[in-house]
Amino acid sequence: MGQFRFFLLLLITLNLIFPQITASSFDHRYSVGDNVPLCANIVGPLNNPSETYQYYDLPFCHPDQVIPKKETLGEVLNGDRLTNTLYNLNFRDDKVDQLLCYKKLKPDEITKFIAAINADYYFQMYYDDLPL
């Protein structure tokens, strides 16, 4: 019984010292308006899923500084290459007809997109660690 009381006292003390964080991609709990991370991952031909490229190898609009996410061992073994995106998505905040960026494509960038479409490329993103 004494060990139970000690353990209960320890839990209460830790809870007071380390208060809960409200919005976090680690516990996946968000309040209305909290930012929910959307990461770009990979692109590649649908008929050959082992052939993958970084998302921004195609000329998508990208942030000024593309920051790779620190990956877990499982993400590394899975071949993920997660990076930040321009998307600013808040929990339970509807968005309609918003412009992400304006980009005039050069002829070689158009050629890359045409080749990706002809090769049936897919893309993968993660929204709060859920693959899209």
Predicted TM-score (pTM) of the model is 0.72
Quote the pLDDT of residue 21: 45
Quote the pLDDT of residue 7: 57
Sequence-separated (6 or more) residues with CB below 8 Å from residue 95: 89
- How far apart are alpha carbons 85 and 4 in whole angstroms? 48
pLDDT (tens digit per residue) in 64-89: 999 998 888 888 888 889 999 999 88
As given in the structure block, the two tokens for residue 23 are 């919005």
pLDDT (tens digit per residue) in 20-66: 544 455 667 888 888 888 999 999 999 998 899 999 999 999 999 99
Residue whose C-alpha is closest to residue 116's, from 40, 46, 67: 46
